[in-house]
Structures are given as structure tokens and as C-alpha cells.
């Protein structure tokens, strides 16, 4: 027997080991080196979970959320479900459990409890903390498309899951509610072991855990922040406590990619980690600045609107970096994912839903917007993609050119006090025509943008 925090007796399946190393040798011999009885050489016989400390329960992360009101917890669950649904929809072959686990690996709570098929990595997490006691769960792995056990690292977007050889157990409040409950342990034939963690073992574990959790070279690191921003744009801002909870728990990273080519009204990109910014001569990622920007975008305590960052944004030509302007503010990181690249298709010009905005805003920003459209047309023509630009975009470019010409003539005449009523009327008319066309164009495309944002293929 052992004891949990709070003095509750806990059933151990072996006498406590005197060190992490001794527990590892036992688990290696008794579990990790065993062949799977049904799929020898194909599936692990056991999956493992390491915990640093004597926790009285092992429940899903969604059940362990604290410091939030009931309303905020419900909102958190809505965000999680909404993002998981989008991932399931937009990422090819990403199952619902994989989508949920993808969120959890980057900081969102879910109903999945993490396991790994790599015994060594389970011990790394067991030793990555302040406690001098660790625990290991060994669970016979039963592959099934319906669960409750799932392999989580098959999809090419599952960067962290691949690093950690991640598996998961989908928890059920009625049956699998706590992996330390005797009835659940007996039903799953699960074993729990406890061991002391020596100082040198803790140091080794912490060093290796930093590599498993490194953000700068993780090409999927910025997706969750990107999707939470989209959720706020789509629905409403969040309470300050929920905003702070998210900023504390999720990975804060840029959503960026290398543009490989343009195909029709889409761009093929390869997603990258934050370290690619410096390797492409861009300002490094400033984590403190980015946290503050996301705080202002998400929290109802601020009026900042992330969609303003999208005005004038265009997809770069092939060979250049694309950075979501809402997750990278050109200041202050490090990384290029050396393991793999992720493939996606993005709409040329913009991949984002800019929302239903008043015509006055388009009129006010017409000079900048018109020049951006003309610049985008020029970039695509220069890249050899002029023939695939849509008729709607070409028409918008024509309105932009007419307005730019009319404005240039009017500005020139103003300098010499020779502006005629005809010149002023033409400038005003072309400005409004362009603004209305721009507004119509982007609002029609906004629905496409949601389905055109990164939809990765299984490429590496």
C-alpha cells in the first residue's frame, strides 16, 4: 500500500521502488518488452502514464479545471468542442479523438487522459516536477476504433503526439471516471507503481522533458492560438479570468508557414515553428508581446479587434514566409521544424474571415486597401499566377485602379488649387464604388475562408 496526498491509502501493485531507475528496470522487463498477444510487432503490449507526485485521482483535464466560474468552464468547453470540430473538418483524416488530443497537447482541456507507448517517456514525465515521489501506470493496450484507448500520433499534424508516442484513454463519467479507482483498475487490468525520484534522476528527466515540449521547432505550435482568435471573432470576447486561464495554459506561438506555390485561388504552404522567423531574417518571436496582444484580442476588458490586423493582408508569393498577423506582431523567437513539414492549402490574398464591417470603415481605408489589391495583383502576376486569378478579384483590381487614378489626379490638382468639381466627384464616386466592391468581395469570400484555412495533407 501507499498513501496519496491528504493521507488516503492507495493500492500499489508492487512494493515501492527505491529509485526511478529501479522502477524502470522492472517495468521494462514486466511490460515494455512483452509482445502484444494479438498484434505482435505491430502494437505495444502496454501503454504507460507517468505522474510526478502522489495524486489521489487520475481524471481527465476537463474535470481538473479550477479557478473559473461555471459560465467560464462552459465557455471553455464550447471553445474546445468548436476547435475540435473545425480540426476534424479541416484536417484530412483527423479523427475526433485525435482532434481532441491535439487540443490537449497544446493546453486545452479534454476528456482524454494521456498515455505513451514509450516507457522511457512515461518516466521522463514522472520525474519532471518538484515531488520526490513518482508513479507509473501500465495499461494493457487494446486497439479499437471505438475506444476507449486510441493511438494519437498517426496524423502528420500531431507534432507533439509524435514526439511523445502518444496514446490516450477516453474517459467516461459513468464507467471510466478515475484511473485510480479500484473498479476501473480491475476492469482495465491496470497496474500502478510508485518510486522515489533521486536528484540526478529528476535533473535528467527535466532536461529530456524540455525537448519533448519545445515550442520553437514545433510546426503545429501556433494552431490553437490561431483557432481561439477565430472563435472570438466568430462569437464573442471572453471574460478576463478565462482569458488569463488560456494565456497561462495554452502554447503561445506564431501561426506561420512557408509559401510553396499558388494553385488557382489557393496557396500551398508548409507550416513551420517559431524558429523559422529568425532563419528567414524576420524579427524574433516576442512571447511577452504576443501574450499581451492575444489578451487584448480575446478579453472583453479591451476593445481591440484582431480582424483589424487582416486589412490589407495578402498571401506572400512562393518562397516567402506567411505569418498570421494576429499571432505574430513583428517583434521579439527562434525555430524550423527539422522533423517534418505540414502541407496545407490557403486562399490566395487572404485566408481569413474579415467579418461584416460597415461601409464607412472601407471608405476610410480605401486608399490603403486599393493599393494592397493592386500590389497583390502585381505579386501574383510576377509569380506567374496571373492567369489563375478569379474574375471577381480581377474586377476588384479594376475598381482599385480606377480609384487610384482618380485620387492621384484629384490630389495633383489640389496641390495647385485647380481641383474641379468634376475631378472631386470622380474621386468620390470611384472611392465609393471600390469600397462597396471590396466589402462585397471579402464578405462573399469569408465563408470560403473558413473552409480554406489550413487543410493539411499527409505529407512530410
Give me the pLDDT at residue 110, please. Answer: 87
* Cα 410 to Cα 72, 181, 404, distances in angstroms: 53, 78, 10
For 198, phi and psi rounded to 5 degrees? -80, 155
pLDDT at 443 over 80: no
* Digit-coded pLDDT (tens) for 148-190: 999 988 777 778 888 899 999 999 888 889 999 999 999 999 9
**Range from 32-46, 87-101, 311-325, 372-386 that averages highest in pLDDT:** 32-46
Task: Name the more confident of 44 and 175.
Answer: 44
pTM attached to this predicted model? 0.68
Give, in degrees to the nearest 5, the angle at Cα 100 between 193 and 167.
35
Distance (Å, whole) CA 221 – CA 103: 10
pLDDT at 450 over 70: no
pLDDT at 291 over 80: yes
Give me the pLDDT at residue 194, please. Answer: 97
Strands (E), 286-329: 321-323
Q: Please, which pLDDT band fits residue 458 given cuts at 50, 70 and 90?
A: very low
pLDDT at 354 over 80: no
Q: What is the DSSP string of 131-173?
A: -SEEEEEEEE----TT-SEEE---STT-HHHHHTTEEEEE--S
Query: Where is average pLDDT lowest: 1-10, 249-258, 292-301?
Result: 1-10
pLDDT at 346 over 90: no
pLDDT at 344 over 80: no
Give me the pLDDT at residue 385, please. Answer: 67
Give me the pLDDT at residue 449, please. Answer: 35
If one counts every other C-beta atom within 10 angstroms of the C-beta of residue 64, the result is 11
Give me the pLDDT at residue 93, please. Answer: 66
In the predicted model, what is the mean pLDDT of the chain?
Answer: 83
Distance (Å, whole) CA 1 – CA 321: 57
Amino acid at each position: 500500500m501507499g498513501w496519496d496526498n491528504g493521507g488516503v491509502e492507495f493500492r500499489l501493485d508492487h512494493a515501492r521502488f527505491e529509485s526511478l531507475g529501479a522502477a524502470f528496470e522492472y517495468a521494462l522487463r514486466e511490460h515494455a518488452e512483452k509482445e502484444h498477444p494479438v498484434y505482435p510487432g505491430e502494437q505495444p503490449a502496454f501503454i504507460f502514464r507517468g505522474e510526478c507526485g502522489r495524486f489521489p485521482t487520475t481524471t481527465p483535464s476537463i474535470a481538473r479545471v479550477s479557478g473559473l466560474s461555471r459560465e467560464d468552464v462552459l465557455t471553455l468547453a464550447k471553445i474546445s468542442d468548436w476547435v475540435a470540430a473545425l480540426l476534424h473538418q479541416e484536417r484530412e483524416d483527423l479523427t475526433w479523438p485525435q482532434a481532441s488530443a491535439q487540443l490537449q497537447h497544446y493546453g486545452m482541456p479534454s476528456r482524454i487522459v494521456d498515455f505513451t507507448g514509450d516507457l522511457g517517456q512515461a518516466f521522463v514525465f514522472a520525474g519532471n516536477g518538484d515531488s520526490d515521489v513518482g508513479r507509473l501506470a501500465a495499461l494493457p493496450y487494446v486497439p479499437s476504433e471505438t475506444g476507449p484507448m486510441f493511438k494519437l500520433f498517426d496524423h502528420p499534424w500531431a507534432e507533439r503526439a509524435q514526439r511523445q508516442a502518444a496514446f490516450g484513454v477516453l474517459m467516461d463519467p459513468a464507467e471510466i471516471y478515475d484511473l485510480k479507482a479500484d473498479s476501473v483498475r480491475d476492469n482495465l487490468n491496470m497496474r500502478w507503481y510508485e518510486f522515489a525520484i533521486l536528484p540526478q534522476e529528476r535533473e535528467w528527466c527535466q532536461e529530456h522533458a524540455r525537448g519533448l515540449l519545445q515550442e520553437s521547432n514545433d510546426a503545429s505550435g501556433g494552431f490553437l492560438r490561431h483557432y481561439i482568435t477565430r472563435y472570438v471573432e466568430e462569437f464573442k470576447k471572453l471574460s478576463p479570468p478565462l482569458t488569463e486561464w488560456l494565456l497561462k495554459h495554452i502554447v503561445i506561438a506564431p501561426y506561420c508557414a512557408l509559401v510553396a506555390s499558388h494553385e488557382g485561388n489557393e496557396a500551398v504552404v508548409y507550416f513551420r515553428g517559431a524558429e523559422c522567423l529568425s532563419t528567414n531574417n524576420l524579427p524574433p518571436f516576442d512571447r511577452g508581446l504576443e501574450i499581451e496582444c492575444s489578451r487584448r484580442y480575446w478579453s472583453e476588458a479591451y476593445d481591440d479587434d484582431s480582424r483589424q490586423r487582416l486589412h490589407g493582408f495578402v498571401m506572400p508569393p512562393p518562397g516567402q514566409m506567411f505569418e498570421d498577423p494576429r499571432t505574430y506582431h513583428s517583434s521579439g523567437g527562434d525555430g524550423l521544424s527539422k522533423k517534418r513539414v505540414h502541407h496545407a492549402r490557403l486562399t490566395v490574398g487572404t485566408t481569413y474571415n474579415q467579418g461584416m464591417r460597415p461601409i464607412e470603415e472601407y471608405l476610410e481605408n480605401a486608399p490603403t486597401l486599393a493599393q494592397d489589391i493592386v500590389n497583390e495583383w502585381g505579386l501574383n502576376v510576377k509569380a506567374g499566377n496571373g492567369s489563375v486569378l478569379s474574375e471577381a478579384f480581377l474586377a476588384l483590381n479594376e475598381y482599385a485602379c480606377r480609384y487610384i487614378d482618380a485620387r492621384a489626379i484629384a490630389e495633383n490638382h489640389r496641390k495647385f488649387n485647380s481641383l474641379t468639381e468634376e475631378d472631386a466627384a470622380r474621386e468620390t464616386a470611384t472611392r465609393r464604388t471600390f469600397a462597396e466592391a471590396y466589402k462585397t468581395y471579402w464578405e462573399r469570400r469569408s465563408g470560403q475562408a473558413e473552409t480554406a484555412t489550413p487543410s493539411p495533407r499527409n505529407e512530410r
